[in-house]
Chain A
């Protein structure tokens, strides 16, 4: 029984913005198939009346005064940039990139 197809793996790889080689796609299809098969175990339990838990220790979101503190100056922020233009991070042209969006 197949839970996930190679085409679906390639689709989520695009959503993840990770280019896969054909060999990687084939291996990952098998791996995800096996992992998704295992997690079907959860289907044994009726959870229709159970609320979800997002965080184990519920806390209210704390607020602080809206004052700047601890931020990096532009040179520190740009120190690890693969490419920069003045005080900006430089990336390849965005507009006209058909595959984006």
Chain B
């Protein structure tokens, strides 16, 4: 790679100084994708021609001094489950092959209005169901740190594209860790905002009470910049909070001396944590303590039940949300069907991959008569206990620190045959979704040559605090600047 990857803010500085143009940045992006992405498979589609035109328009705005926002003229990638008007939105599924969205998601509408240049759509686990990007109908994405390994998932294409320096930032979605775990696996910074902070309008629904859109970038500051642009009330999403857009970028002051950091005891006793992960996280905690933060042990006694509760709630909601893919109005329809039932059954058999079928069936089972109380309602009650755990913990601290994932990036295929083992890789991330909390993953060093993620959780609506701690850590540590080794294309 001729040029080290730049952050959004570095690109903006160069544009402001007249040292580059948006058109040049876009050509650089397209050249990098050309060089590297045949191997990595981060992008499922590029907007080549429209992108060049939009870049030239952004350059004209810059020359005329009429910039729309701090993101004007900067390239970004969008996960394949966030719709863009006139573009395909495939959710990496055969079910939506050929589908063209007739409308913009709210986040895309806001990014376009801000002048951002949307490079293309990124690969993902099918319908965001997975932790490895291997369930994509378009083939897995490879981790830029080691092409034999997974970039995590489900937002593996977005995280991989940022890690490989193809784009400075991307949007992902996070239902149980789908932004944070790929960020951890690829040495990038990824944030799931407070539930309701960002509109879900135009995000293809997986589990509606858990899904949030969020940024993946090289720094917490860039995540703040993006989150400021996409957050804020949207009347088209009834679960979107009434709050005004965040102004978190301006609040990053590098100061953690007034903060109390909570360290959940349960982190250390969780089973199956790869040796070395807790040491890396401990080093990050020590760095923040040296910068003035106070440390305090806290307890989340129901953390060990989070995965079980999560997979019941998420699959139940998914089974309902994915009922819409029936072959009637859009997407795949089986050929030569004689009856409506046959159309439904064969369309869904052909359109959905194995993991999506597994989750729909599990969801229908746990919602069905005779099992509802034992599974779904039990999981919802556990969700209450988890929320109470967090409320109690946050009485005595401002943020919680724990690992993002219990391991570094695993090998492609390593977990593909055992769904339960795959689910357990979300052990540290699902709790934030169940409780609606803001949470970010930042790189905190390498283990066996692969990135480790530190996760920072905050109180509901305290997205700015989470970003402030992440940014403060990145002022103290070099880990987010580590680059993957070069691999032959």
Complex Cα distance, B343 from A19, in Å, reads 10
- Name the distance in Å between A46's Cβ and chain B's nearest Cβ: 10
B195 neighbours in A (Cβ, 8 Å) = 55-57
Flag if B420 contacts A35 (CB, 8 Å).
yes
Known: A4-B365, A52-B383. A92 touches B338 (CB 8 A): yes
Q: Which residues of A contact B (CB under 8 A)?
A: 4, 8-9, 12-20, 24, 27-28, 31-32, 34-36, 38-39, 41-45, 47, 50-57, 59, 61-62, 64, 70, 72, 76-77, 79-83, 89, 91-94, 97, 99-100
- Name the distance in Å between B480's Cβ and chain A's nearest Cβ: 29
**Is B102's CB within 8 Å of the partner chain A?**
yes
Q: Which residues of B contact A (CB under 8 A)?
A: 98-100, 102-103, 194-196, 209, 235-236, 238-239, 241-242, 302, 304-305, 307-309, 311-312, 319, 326-333, 337-346, 348-349, 352, 354, 357-358, 360-362, 364-365, 368, 375, 377-385, 387, 419-420, 423, 433-437, 460
Flag if A79 contacts B358 (CB, 8 Å).
no
Flag if B381 contacts A56 (CB, 8 Å).
no
Flag if A72 contacts B380 (CB, 8 Å).
no
Complex Cα distance, B329 from A80, in Å, reads 7
Flag if B460 contacts A56 (CB, 8 Å).
yes
Flag if A51 contacts B236 (CB, 8 Å).
no
Flag if B343 contacts A92 (CB, 8 Å).
yes
The closest CB in chain A to the CB of B197 belongs to: A57
Partner of B238 from the list A18, A61, A99 (CB cut-off 8 Å) is A61
Known: A12-B365, A56-B209, A80-B329. A99 touches B460 (CB 8 A): no
Complex Cα distance, B327 from A83, in Å, reads 9
Complex Cα distance, B385 from A4, in Å, reads 28
Complex Cα distance, B316 from A61, in Å, reads 22
Flag if B345 contacts A19 (CB, 8 Å).
yes
Flag if A47 contacts B100 (CB, 8 Å).
no
Partner of B381 from the list A12, A34, A51, A94 (CB cut-off 8 Å) is A51
Known: A47-B378, A55-B209. A92 touches B337 (CB 8 A): yes
Complex Cα distance, B349 from A38, in Å, reads 27
- Name the distance in Å between B65's Cβ and chain A's nearest Cβ: 33
A17 neighbours in B (Cβ, 8 Å) = 326, 341, 344-345, 348
In the A-B complex, the 4 residue pairs with the closest CB atoms: A56-B436, A52-B380, A80-B330, A82-B333
Flag if B340 contacts A100 (CB, 8 Å).
yes
Flag if B361 contacts A89 (CB, 8 Å).
no
Known: A16-B364, A45-B305, A57-B241. A31 touches B358 (CB 8 A): yes
The closest CB in chain B to the CB of A47 belongs to: B381
Partner of A59 from the list B196, B304, B330, B337 (CB cut-off 8 Å) is B196
Mostly helix, strand, loop or mixed at chain B's interface? helix
Flag if A100 contacts B345 (CB, 8 Å).
no
6 A-B pairs with C-beta separation under 8 A: A12-B364, A17-B326, A54-B380, A57-B195, A72-B102, A89-B328
Known: A16-B361, A59-B239. 16 other contacts (CB 8 A): A9-B361, A14-B345, A28-B361, A31-B419, A35-B419, A35-B420, A39-B311, A42-B305, A52-B380, A53-B383, A56-B387, A62-B235, A62-B238, A62-B242, A64-B235, A80-B102
Flag if B346 contacts A100 (CB, 8 Å).
no
Flag if B377 contacts A92 (CB, 8 Å).
no
A31 neighbours in B (Cβ, 8 Å) = 358, 419-420
Complex Cα distance, B368 from A12, in Å, reads 9
Partner of A91 from the list B332, B340, B423, B433 (CB cut-off 8 Å) is B340
Partner of B340 from the list A13, A28, A83, A92 (CB cut-off 8 Å) is A92
- Name the distance in Å between B210's Cβ and chain A's nearest Cβ: 8
Flag if B326 contacts A50 (CB, 8 Å).
no
Complex Cα distance, B94 from A58, in Å, reads 36
Flag if B328 contacts A91 (CB, 8 Å).
yes
Flag if A13 contacts B361 (CB, 8 Å).
yes
Complex Cα distance, B388 from A47, in Å, reads 13
- Name the distance in Å between A71's Cβ and chain B's nearest Cβ: 10
- Name the distance in Å between B205's Cβ and chain A's nearest Cβ: 14
B333 neighbours in A (Cβ, 8 Å) = 82-83
A45 neighbours in B (Cβ, 8 Å) = 302, 305, 382, 385
Flag if B348 contacts A15 (CB, 8 Å).
no
A91 neighbours in B (Cβ, 8 Å) = 328, 340, 343
A52 neighbours in B (Cβ, 8 Å) = 377, 380-381, 383-384
Flag if B342 contacts A80 (CB, 8 Å).
no
- Name the distance in Å between B383's Cβ and chain A's nearest Cβ: 4
Complex Cα distance, B242 from A41, in Å, reads 37
- Name the distance in Å between A35's Cβ and chain B's nearest Cβ: 6
Complex Cα distance, B352 from A28, in Å, reads 14
Flag if A39 contacts B375 (CB, 8 Å).
yes
Known: A34-B420, A52-B383. A76 touches B102 (CB 8 A): yes
Partner of B209 from the list A24, A38, A50, A54 (CB cut-off 8 Å) is A54
- Name the distance in Å between B400's Cβ and chain A's nearest Cβ: 16
A16 neighbours in B (Cβ, 8 Å) = 319, 348, 357, 360-361, 364
Flag if A57 contacts B436 (CB, 8 Å).
yes
Flag if B364 contacts A93 (CB, 8 Å).
no
Flag if B327 contacts A82 (CB, 8 Å).
yes
Complex Cα distance, B343 from A20, in Å, reads 14
